[in-house]
């Protein structure tokens, strides 16, 4: 599978620069989030990949789907992506844009993965520890992945602190195989 991040970078940067210039950075972030989620839906994927539709028809359909919830900046992005056969980049563009905006605002995005939902007290303790290290404006999201078996994994930017049982077992297996 091809890595889409390098292809998405120039689009994300261009949209980010435009949004900052227009003072609509948060609004465009929300629009990209909506478009990224929608772009993963089977019906929309079929529309985008339909060979019977021209690029212009695809753009018109997409704009009509998102019309009420997106600005001209996002509509222009859809048009450019369609012209360049890059509509598959919507989700990576959203991810990169989000990172650019967080850097611009000096925020850190922290993803905490747990095997089971933590209690409210535990969740607050984890949040306060992370915020004491990365700042009160750190954006902390929790997700559940039973495959990690226990413990937690914390992802900050491109760094991961794996404190899960699965991670410890993998590390032990690697040490034993060496």
pLDDT of 18 > 90? The answer is yes
Distance CA 177, CA 86 (A): 43
pLDDT at position 2, please? 62
Which residues face 143 on adjacent strands? 113
Neighbours of 56 (CB within 10 A): 11
Answer whether 28's CB lies under 8 Å from 104's CB: no
Per CATH, the number for 108-177 is 3.40.30
Half-sphere exposure for 164 (CA within 13 Å, toward CB):
22
Q: pLDDT tens digits for 58-95?
A: 888 888 888 777 888 888 999 999 889 888 899 999 99
Q: Where in the chain is the domain with CATH 1.10.520.20?
A: 5-103
Distance CA 72, CA 63 (A): 10
Q: pLDDT tens digits for 92-149?
A: 999 999 989 888 887 788 899 999 988 999 999 999 998 888 888 888 989 999 999 9
Q: Where in the chain is the domain with CATH 3.40.30?
A: 108-177
Top-level class of domain 5-103: mainly alpha
């Amino acid at each position: 599978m091809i890595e889409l991040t390098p292809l998405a970078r120039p689009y994300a940067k261009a949209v980010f620069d435009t949004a900052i210039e227009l003072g609509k950075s948060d609004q465009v972030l929300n629009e990209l989030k909506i478009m990224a989620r929608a772009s993963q839906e089977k019906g929309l994927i079929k529309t985008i990949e339909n060979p019977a539709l021209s690029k212009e028809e695809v753009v018109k359909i997409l704009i009509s789907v998102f019309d009420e919830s997106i600005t001209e900046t996002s509509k222009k992005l859809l048009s450019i992506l369609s012209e360049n056969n890059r509509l598959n980049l919507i989700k990576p563009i959203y991810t990169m844009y989000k990172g650019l905006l967080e850097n611009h605002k000096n925020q850190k995005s922290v993803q905490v993965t747990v095997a089971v939902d933590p209690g409210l007290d535990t969740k607050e303790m984890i949040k306060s520890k992370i915020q004491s290290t990365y700042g009160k404006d750190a954006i902390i999201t929790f997700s559940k992945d039973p495959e990690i078996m226990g413990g937690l994994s914390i992802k900050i930017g491109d760094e991961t602190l794996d404190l899960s049982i699965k991670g410890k077992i993998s590390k032990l297996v690697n040490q034993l195989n060496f």
